Each structure stands twice: as C-alpha cells, then as structure tokens.
Amino acid sequence: MAGLFAEGFGDWVTLANGVNGKWNSAVGTPGVDLGGAGSDMPAALKVDSALNYLNKTLPANYPTLILGMAIKVGAPNSGGDTPIWQFIDDDTNKVQITLALTPALRLALYLGDITGTLLAVSSSALAQGARAYVEAKLTFDPSAGAYEVRVNRTSVIGPASGVATAVAGAHSYVNSLRLGNTATGTSPTYWVSDLYLCDNSGTANNDFLGDVKVDTCFPSADVDTGWTPDSGSAHFSRVDESDPDGDASYVSTATLGAKDSYDHTPSPENVGTIFFVQVSAVARKDDAGARAIQNVIESGAFEHDGAQVQLDTSYARNMDISETDPATSAAWTKSGFDAARFGVKLAA
Ligand SMILES: [Ca+2]
Ligand SMILES: [Ca+2]
C-alpha cells in the first residue's frame, strides 16, 4: 500500500461536503470551480489572494511522501510568494516544507513557511493559463532530508539530499497537508486538481507517478439491493450526486450484513495505467447506539470489504484505497475496473 489519497474535485462542491472527512477543515472559502479552469481541468479548486486553504489530517506519520497535482496559474503579479501547499508536523504544530508560486510564476521551495529558509527556486516559470503537472518527493529530516520537484516529469528543483527538510524542534515526519493559499496579500489566482498522495512503502505507487488524472465515477445501476431507498425503487439514483445531498436522497438499513452495490459510470476511454482506486461513501447513523459500515468492492466472484468505520449522527466520508483488482490481485485494468461493482455494507 503506497497510494494514500486522490482528489479530482469531482465528488463535492459544497465546502461542507469537502471537509466531512475527505479534507478535515478549511480556512477561508477555497471553492470548487466547475469549468472555470478550462476543459483540461473541468473540476478544480480555485485559490485566490485571500487566506483560503484546505487541511487534511493524514492517517499516519510519514517520513517520506510524494505529492502530485495539476496546477494552472493566472496572471503574474508584483506581490509576494503565494503558498500552494504545505506539509505540517501536527504534533509540534510546525510547518516543515512549503511549495509556493513566486510573483513571476516560478516555483519556490521553502523550509518552513514562506517566511522561512528558501531552499530553491525553479529556473523557468509556469506558463500562464496552461495545465502543468507539479510533483514533489520529500524526505523530512533536519539533516538527512531530501527533496525534488518536477514539472511535467522534468526536475525543476533538486534532486537534493543530505539537506534540512524538517524545521528545528519538529519530528522527522509530517502528518497533515494544507492545500491552497496559507498567506495573505497579492497573489496570482491558481487552480489545482488531479491530486495524488503516495508514500514510499510497498511495491507499487511508491515514487513519482508522472502526469496523472483523477476521474470520478458514479453509481449508475443497482446490483445488490439489501438497503432501502428513501423514495422510489431505484437505489443508485439516491447516492449518485456529484455534491452529496444529505437527507434529501439516500439508502438506509438496520439489518446487519445488508449490502447495497452498484455498477458505475465507465472510466474515460483513454485510460492507461490505473494507479489506484479510491472508494468513497458518505454516511451517518440516525439514532443512538454504535453503527459501523464498510465499503465493498465486487469484482468477478470476488468481494473485498474495506475497514469498518463507526458512524456519527452527522454525515462523514469513508474512503478506502484499492491498488489491486480483488479478482486478479494485480493492478486494476480499465476493463476490470469498469466491470467491478462498488457499494456499502452495514458491518456492525
Ligand atoms: Ca441522485
Ligand atoms: Ca443522495
């Protein structure tokens, strides 16, 4: 397991639906922009000059991480550097590394915040209005750290090793990510999407992935129908919104082991490598007592059940990463993925 997270901004629009567990909190109002970044980034997070960013608590402490995302930048400006993302050691509340956009649209890597130590600046600028795929690989350590930043697969910062990538007093790891503008002042508007996060463990997805897209597929037909729709007879259409609609349409059950699963809209025609699949369900319980669900993947005659997750009375997102098709134990293929069914089970 090395794939940790993917975000294509295709399954939420309302900020509350983004910070219900996919992200954990927001500062300001970073907004999902549908279409505004152009046809090559149809859903993206728009970041402007205000303090506006998303915060994600990572599931563990990571000494090494690889982060990639598509970035499209607006016009240059004459202000200061604008953060794009930061990795944080939450245990000491210290910013370890910041990637920022300079007023001339170059990339700048900082130890700490943009008020910290400038590690390096890319020699060329990002082209205004063009989708660039920006990846970084970082090992966090006060003296044995390493960094490399690539744009469209080419190194623009580093690779460097044996350097400080953890600030004084912080651990040699990070456990949260901030995405967006964590500073104030003049800045170019920019859009980000197609984000992946990996660590360097396991045998796959443990290094730079290259220029990738994060596509979102939605339930499109019923398969297992163990749950009950709130209205009508179709199940999938109660849980197929691109912005989850809470109690307005849903499926429910009180039966232990009951399972709902769905066919889904196909992956894009030109899909090459599928690095990993992220299964996502938004759920809550509606009464006292403990309830747990698990995401379900059905492929051929095989079923893989995700981790059991306790529900709260408010909606939260439960996500699982799958790097291999349960039917083959090999990497997902387009045909395998398109034929697989995804759903949810009441586990406890
Ligand atoms: Ca619907
Ligand atoms: Ca719904």
- Print pLDDT tens along the chain (348 aa): 599 999 999 999 999 999 999 999 999 999 999 999 999 999 999 998 889 999 999 999 999 999 999 999 988 877 889 999 999 999 999 999 999 999 999 999 999 999 999 999 999 999 999 999 999 999 999 999 999 999 999 999 999 999 999 999 999 999 999 999 999 866 778 999 999 999 999 999 999 999 999 999 999 999 999 999 999 999 999 999 999 999 999 999 999 999 999 999 999 999 999 999 999 999 999 999 999 999 999 999 999 999 999 999 999 999 999 999 999 999 999 999 999 999 999 999
How far apart are the C-alpha atoms of 6 and 213, rounded to whole Å?
9
Q: Which residues pair with 150 in a beta bridge?
A: 135, 155
Q: Which two tokens stand for residue 188?
A: 């170019």
- Which ligand has an atom closest to residue 218 CA? 1
- CATH architecture of the domain with residue range 3-199: Sandwich (2.60)
Ligand 1 center–CA 12 separation, angstroms: 13
Ligand 2 center–CA 28 separation, angstroms: 27
Ligand 1 center–CA 302 separation, angstroms: 28
Ligand 1 center–CA 44 separation, angstroms: 22
Map out the domains of the chain as residue ranges: 3-199, 219-346
- Which ligand has an atom closest to residue 220 CA? 1
Ligand 1 center–CA 74 separation, angstroms: 35
What CATH code would you report for 219-346?
Answer: 2.60.120
- Which ligand has an atom closest to residue 237 CA? 1
Within this chain, domains 3-199 and 219-346 share the same CATH topology: yes
Q: Which two tokens stand for residue 101?
A: 């956009």
Identify the pLDDT of residue 186: 64
- Which ligand has an atom closest to residue 248 CA? 2
Ligand 2 center–CA 230 separation, angstroms: 9
How far apart are the C-alpha atoms of 42 and 193, rounded to whole Å?
9
Ligand 1 center–CA 93 separation, angstroms: 40
Contacts 24+ apart (CB under 8 A), 225-231: 225/260, 226/253, 226/255, 226/257, 226/258, 226/259, 226/260, 226/345, 227/251, 227/252, 227/253, 227/258, 227/259, 227/260, 227/344, 227/346, 228/252, 228/253
Ligand 2 center–CA 199 separation, angstroms: 33
- Which ligand has an atom closest to residue 245 CA? 2
Neighbours of 283 (CB within 10 A): 22
Whole-structure pTM value: 0.97
- Which ligand has an atom closest to residue 232 CA? 1
Ligand 1 center–CA 244 separation, angstroms: 9
Ligand 1 center–CA 272 separation, angstroms: 29
Ligand 2 center–CA 25 separation, angstroms: 22
Ligand 2 center–CA 306 separation, angstroms: 21
Ligand 2 center–CA 79 separation, angstroms: 43
